[in-house]
Structure 1
Amino acid sequence: MKPPCYIGLSQAREVLAEMGIELNERQIKRAADPDPNGKRKLPFFVDPIDGRLKIERRTLVDIYRQAQAEAENNVRS
């Protein structure tokens, strides 16, 4: 098993762009910022060392793969 690879906002945008999901800086920032209830759209966390938002690369990709699988399952129903 590979060790986790934590990436920041700009790197997350790049990973998503490689998958064909083009987001601007504002869109990725909105997904990372907590809503009024304190929940984030994507599981970014504040790095305890540098204070920047981070997400595990594999988790980000898995979220989109899971969303795609759910969409495909809904079509078949």
Structure 2
Amino acid sequence: MEPPCYLRIDQVRTLLAEMGIELSERQIKRAADPDPNGKRKLPFFVDPIDGRLKIEKGTLVRIYREAQIDAENSSKI
């Protein structure tokens, strides 16, 4: 099992671009910011040492893969 790899917001944008998902910095920031209920669209957390938002790389990739699988399963082909 691989150790976790935590990404900052700028690194998330780069990773998603490598996967073919072009998002603006603002779009990623909106997914990382909590809504009025305190929930985030993506599971970012505040690093307890440096105070920056981070997300685990494998979790982010898994979320996109699951969305793709759901879309494939619900298609009418």
| TMscore range, shorter length | over 0.9
1:1-20 matched pairs, under 5 angstroms: 1-20=1-20
Q: When the two structures are superposed, what TM-score results if normalisation uses the length of structure 2?
A: 0.96
- 1:19: how far off? 0.6
Q: Which runs of 4+ in 1 moved over 3 A?
A: none
Q: Deviations over 1:35-71 (max 9, x none)?
A: 0011100000000000000000010000000000001
Identical-residue share of aligned pairs (%): 75
Per-residue deviation, 1:76: 4.3
The 2-side partners of 1:14 and 1:62 are apart by 16
Q: Aligned pair count? A: 77
**Which structure 1 segments of 5+ residues have no match?**
none
The answer to whether structure 1 residue 32 and structure 2 residue 32 are counterparts is yes
Q: How does 1:26-65 map to 2 (within 5 A)?
A: 26-65=26-65
Structure 2, unpaired ranges of 5+: none
> How large is the RMSD of aligned CA atoms in angstroms?
1.1
